[in-house]
């Protein structure tokens, strides 16, 4: 019996190799990006993304935000509050180990925490700031006009500070969570050790991924036998 395989560029921007099992269901055999949380915008705006082995990417609304569309998390989450420009009515909530990429209105090196906080308060569009304390790379400050492309990592030494109204009374129970996409590295290693992925399929996958990274065109592979 010939095992059917296919190479697919999925809606989250990741390249995956699927195989059809005996129950005629498609299973992920290999994927180019193992930690799917590094795919930009996978959980939408105002979200945190965590990679949970065997379950996939976990999307969770930030505190004070609620999901827009529970059937499609790429829509992100929306605020349950209104912010104004009065700095005396704002407070900041620390979320450690969380990093947001891009949408920086200010980037300051060797900045103090208070300087970074004041930069955000002076900007009505600032939704929070990312701050990393000193070390070999020195301290860094990023004020954010959008909270997008987030990745939760326990090894990240900084934190995001969410701008919220002082009158907020939100709880973590209001932060909705869902699982989507497969990000298990164990699955990848097991499949490779069982020799179910041949060199031809992996070469095609690597070529397709290289084409995406370098902006080069590639052909539609469809189904691979």
Range of the structural domain that residue 203 is part of: 5-34+183-224
Tell me: do 152 and 194 sit in the same domain: no
203 CB burial (10 A radius; 0-12, 13-18, 19+): exposed
Identify which of 53, 29, 54 has the alpha carbon closest to the alpha carbon of residue 194. Answer: 29
Tell me: do 136 and 45 sit in the same domain: yes
pTM of the model: 0.67
* Mean pLDDT computed over every residue of the chain: 75
86 CB burial (10 A radius; 0-12, 13-18, 19+): exposed
pLDDT, position 171: 53
- CA atoms within 13 A of residue 96's CA, in its CB half-sphere: 4
Is the Cβ–Cβ distance between 144 and 130 less than 8 Å? yes
Percent pLDDT > 70 in the chain is 70
Tell me: do 96 and 144 sit in the same domain: yes
Greater confidence (76 vs 35) lies with 76
Domain count, the chain: 2
Identify which of 39, 48, 36 has the alpha carbon closest to the alpha carbon of residue 76. Answer: 48
Is the Cβ–Cβ distance between 41 and 77 less than 8 Å? no
Tell me: do 121 and 203 sit in the same domain: no
Find the range with the poorest average confidence among 61-75, 88-102, 115-129, 200-214. 200-214
Tell me: do 164 and 134 sit in the same domain: yes
């Amino acid at each position: 019996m010939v095992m059917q395989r296919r190479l697919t560029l999925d809606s989250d921007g990741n390249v995956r190799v699927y195989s059809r099992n005996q129950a005629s269901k498609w299973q992920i055999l290999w994927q180019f990006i193992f930690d799917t949380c590094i795919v930009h915008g996978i959980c939408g705006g105002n979200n945190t993304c965590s990679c949970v082995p065997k379950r996939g990417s976990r999307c969770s609304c930030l505190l004070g935000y609620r999901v827009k569309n529970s059937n499609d998390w790429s829509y992100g989450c929306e605020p349950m509050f209104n912010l104004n420009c009065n700095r005396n009515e704002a407070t900041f909530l620390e979320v450690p180990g969380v990093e947001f990429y891009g949408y920086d209105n200010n980037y300051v090196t060797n900045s103090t925490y208070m300087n970074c906080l004041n930069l955000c308060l002076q900007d009505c569009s600032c939704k929070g700031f990312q701050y990393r304390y000193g070390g070999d790379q020195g301290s860094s400050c990023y004020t954010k006009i959008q909270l997008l492309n987030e990745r939760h990592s326990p090894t990240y030494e900084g934190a995001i500070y969410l701008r919220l109204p002082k009158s907020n009374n939100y709880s973590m129970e209001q932060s909705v969570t869902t699982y989507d996409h497969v990000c298990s590295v164990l699955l990848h290693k097991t499949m490779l050790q069982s020799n179910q992925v041949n060199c031809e399929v992996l070469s095609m996958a690597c070529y397709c991924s290289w084409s995406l990274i370098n902006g080069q065109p590639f052909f539609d592979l469809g189904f691979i036998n």
